[in-house]
Amino acid sequence: MSVTFSLNGKPVTFDGPDDVPLLWAVREHFGLTGSKFGCGIGMCGACTMHLDGEAVRTCVMAVGHVRGRAVTTIEGLPTDETNPVHQAWNELDVPQCGYCQSGMIMATTSLLARNPNPTDQDIDQAITNLCRCATYIRIRAAIHAAARRA
Amino acid sequence: MSHHPSPVLLGRRRFLEVAAAFGAVLAVPLDAAIARRGEVAESELTDWIFIDQAGTVTLGLCQPEVGQGSYTVLPSILAEELDADWPAVAVRWVMGRDAYKIQFRNEKPSQKEGASTSTTKLYARLRTAGAAARIMLVSAAATRWGVPPGQCETRDGWVHNRVTGEKLAYGTLAPDAAKLPVPSDPPLKDRSAFRLIGKSLPRRDTAAKTNGSAIFGLDVTLPDMLNAAIRIAPAIGGWLVAVRNEAEVLKQPGVRHILKLDDAVIAVADRYWQAQRAIDLLDVVFSAGENGHLSTALIDNLAEAGLEAEIGVPALSQGDALKIIGQHPDRVIESRFSVPHLAHAAMEPMNATVHVQKDRVDVWGSIQSTDATVTAVAKICGMHEDQVHLHVGFLGGSFGGKIVPAFVAQAARAAKALGRPVKLIRTREMDIQHDHFRPNNKGRLRAVLDAEGYPLAVHARVCGQSLFATTRPNWLTKTPLGDYDESMVDGLYQQTYAIPNFHVDVIQTPLPIPVYFMRSVGSSAGVLFWESFITDLAHHAGIDQYAYRRHLLRNYPAGLRVLDAAAQAAGWDRPAGPDIARGIAFNTYFGRGGSFVSECAEVVELKRVGDRWKVARVVCAMDAGLVVNHNTFNAQIQGGIGFALTSALKSEITFRDGAAEQSNFVDYPLLSIAEMPEIVPVIVESDRPPQGAGEIMVAPLAPAISQALLHATGRRPDRMPFRAEWFQARA
> A94 and A116 in one domain?
yes
Q: Inter-chain contact B210–A124, Cβ cutoff 8 Å?
A: no
- Transcribe B389-438 into DSSP letters: EEEE-B-S--TTTTSSTHHHHHHHHHHHHHSS-EEEE--HHHHHHTS-BB
- Report residue B40's pLDDT band, with 50, 70 and 90 as the boundaries: low
Question: Which H/E stretch holds residue B580?
Answer: strand B580-590
Using DSSP, state whether B591 is helix, strand or coil: coil
Q: B312 and B285, same structural domain?
A: no
How many structural domains comprise chain A?
A: 2
Let me know whether B310 and B366 are in one domain. no
DSSP single-letter state for residue A29: I
| B41 band by pLDDT with thresholds 50, 70 and 90 | confident
B701 touches chain A (CB under 8 A): no
pLDDT class of B667 with cuts at 50, 70, 90: very high
Whether pLDDT at B157 is above 70: yes
pLDDT confidence band for B107 (50 / 70 / 90): confident
B121-153: pLDDT as tens digits: 999 999 999 999 999 999 999 999 999 999 999
Q: Are residues B682 and B535 in the same domain?
A: yes
Cβ(A49)–Cβ(A22) below 8 Å: yes
Task: Flag whether pLDDT at B16 surpasses 60.
Answer: no
Question: Which residues of chain A are within 8 Å of residue B212 when distances are taken between CB atoms?
Answer: 32-35, 73-75, 102
As a whole number, mean pLDDT of residues B700-723 equals: 97
Q: Nearest CB to A24: which of B203, B272, B398?
A: B272
Q: Are residues B475 and B584 in the same domain?
A: yes
| Domain-located, residue B595 | yes
- Please give the backbone phi and psi of residue B318, each rounded to the nearest 5 degrees, phi first: -125, 140
CA distances (Å), origin B431, targets B4, B86, B407, B412, B623: 31, 38, 9, 17, 35
Residue-level pLDDT at B18: 41
Render pLDDT for B362-416 as a digit per residue (tens, 0 to 9). 999 999 999 999 999 999 999 999 999 999 999 999 999 999 999 999 999 999 9
- For residue B15, pLDDT beyond 60: no
Q: How far apart are CA B453 and CA B545, in angstroms?
A: 12
Both B484 and B525 in a single domain? yes
- Are B115 and B521 within 8 A, CB to CB? no
Rounded to an integer, what distance in angstroms lies between the CA atom of residue B114 and that of residue A4?
Answer: 47
Q: How many domains does chain B have?
A: 3
Residues of A in contact with B216 (CB under 8 A): 36, 98-99
B9 has a chain A CB within 8 A of its CB = no
B1 touching chain A per CB within 8 A:
yes
Same domain, B523 and B402: no
Q: What are B196-255's pLDDT values in tens digits?
A: 999 999 999 999 999 999 999 999 999 999 999 999 999 999 999 999 999 999 999 999
User: What CATH number corresponds to the domain at position A26?
Assistant: 3.10.20.30
Which residues are bridge partners to B362 per DSSP? Answer: B355, B389
Q: Categorize the per-residue pLDDT at B105 as very low, low, confident or very high, splitting at 50, 70 and 90.
A: confident
Instruction: Over range B184-192, report the average pLDDT.
Output: 96
**What phi-psi label fits residue B466: left (phi over 0), alpha (psi between -120 and 50 degrees) or beta?**
beta
Average pLDDT over residues B619-648: 98
Same domain? A69 vs A105: no
- pLDDT over threshold 90, residue B46: yes
Spatial contact of A57 and A100, defined as CB atoms under 8 Å apart: no
Question: Do B70 and B61 contact (CB within 8 A), yes or no?
Answer: yes
A72 shares a domain with A97: no
Out of A24, A101, A134, name the one closest to residue B671 (CB).
A134
Does B254 reach chain A within 8 Å, measured CB to CB?
Answer: no
Q: Are B103 and B242 part of one and the same domain?
A: no
Identify the domain containing residue A67 by its residue range. Answer: 2-76
Report CB contact under 8 Å: B396, A140.
Answer: no
Task: Domain of residue B702: give its range.
Answer: 297-341+438-727
Contacts of B272 in chain A (CB under 8 A): 24, 28
Asked if B730 contacts B715 with a C-beta cutoff of 8 angstroms, the reply is no
Give the end of a domain, one of A53, A76, A99: A76
- pLDDT at residue B30 in the model: 32
Option in B1, B203, B272 nearest A28 (CB): B272
CB contact under 8 A, A31 and B67: no
pLDDT reading at B273 higher than 60: yes
Percentage of the residues of chain B whose pLDDT score is greater than 70: 94
What is the mean pLDDT of each successive set of 10 residues along chain A, which is 150 residues long? Answer: 96 97 98 98 98 98 98 96 95 98 98 98 98 98 95
Please give the pLDDT value at position B664. Answer: 98
Per-residue pLDDT tens digits for B531-585: 999 999 999 999 999 999 999 999 999 999 999 999 999 999 999 988 999 999 9
Find the closest chain A residue to B3 by CA distance.
A16
Site from A111, A132, A143 to mutate, B interface, most B CB atoms within 10 angstroms? A132
Helices A84-91 and A101-114 cross at an angle (nearest 10°) of 130
Q: How far apart are CA B596 and CA B122, in angstroms?
A: 12
Arithmetic mean of pLDDT, B57-78: 97
Helix (H, G, I), strand (E, B) or coil at B518: coil
CB count, 10 Å around CB of B258?
A: 20
Contact A99 B397 (CB under 8 A): yes
The answer to whether the CB atoms of A133 and B4 lie below 8 A apart is: no
Other Cβ atoms less than 10 A from the Cβ of B242: the count is 12
Nearest to B639 among A1, A41, A134 (CB): A134
What ipTM is given for this predicted complex?
A: 0.98
User: What is chain B's mean pLDDT, rounded?
Assistant: 93
The more confident residue out of B347 and B34 is B347
Last residue of a domain, one of A34, A58, A76: A76
Residue of chain B nearest A97, judged by CA positions: B67
**Which pairing describes strands B226-232 and B422-425: parallel, antiparallel, or unpaired?**
parallel
Classify residue B301: in a domain, yes or no. Answer: yes
Q: Are residues B331 and B250 in the same domain?
A: no
Question: What are the beta bridge partners of residue B614?
Answer: B607
Supply the DSSP symbol for B246: H
Do the Cβ atoms of B6 and A102 come within 8 Å?
no
Which residues in chain B have Cβ-Cβ distances shorter than 8 Å to A37?
218, 349, 425
Residue A69 shares a structural domain with residue A88: no
DSSP label at residue B310: S
C-alpha B200: how far from chain center: 22
Cβ distance of B664 and A128 shorter than 8 Å: no
Domain boundary residue, one of B152, B181, B210 = B210
B13 close to A (CB below 8 A): no
Q: Are residues B511 and B650 in the same domain?
A: yes
A96 and A141 inside one domain: yes
Q: How far is A33 from chain B (nearest CA, A)?
A: 6
**B587 and B681 within one domain:** yes
Write down which residue in A46, A76, A106 finishes a domain: A76
- Alpha-carbon gap, residue B558 to B306, rounded angstroms: 35
What whole-number distance in Å separates Cα of residue B464 and Cα of residue B522? 11
Residues B504 and B486: their CA atoms lie apart, in Å, by 11
What value does the mean pLDDT take over residues B321-344? 98
Asked whether residue B29 carries a pLDDT value surpassing 50, the answer given is: no
Residues A133 and A72 grouped into a single domain: no
**Cβ-based neighbours of B669, under 8 Å, separated by 6 or more:** B650
Residue B356 forms beta bridges with which residues? B361
Q: CA B693 to CA B638: how far, in whole Å?
A: 12
Report the gap between the CA of B231 and the closest CA in chain A (Å): 15
- Do residues B202 and B226 share a domain? no
pLDDT higher than 60, residue B36: no
- Residue B329, min C-alpha distance to chain A (Å): 46
The residues near B358 (Cβ < 8 Å, ≥ 6 apart) are: none
Q: Residue B39 — pLDDT band, cuts 50, 70, 90?
A: low
Interface test with B, best of A3, A22, A35, A39 (most B CBs within 10 A): A39
Q: Are B310 and B376 in a shared domain? A: no
pLDDT per residue as tens digits for the range B520-543 = 999 999 999 999 999 999 999 999
| Residue in B212, B271, B673 nearest the CB of A34 | B212
B596 touches chain A (CB under 8 A): no
Q: Indicate the residue of A17, A79, A136 with minimum beta-carbon distance to B211.
A: A79
Distance CA B127, CA B148 (A): 24
pLDDT at B112: 87
Put simply, whether B633 touches A (Cβ < 8 Å) is no
Contact of B522 with chain A, judged by CB distance below 8 Å, is answered with: no
pLDDT reported for residue B699: 97
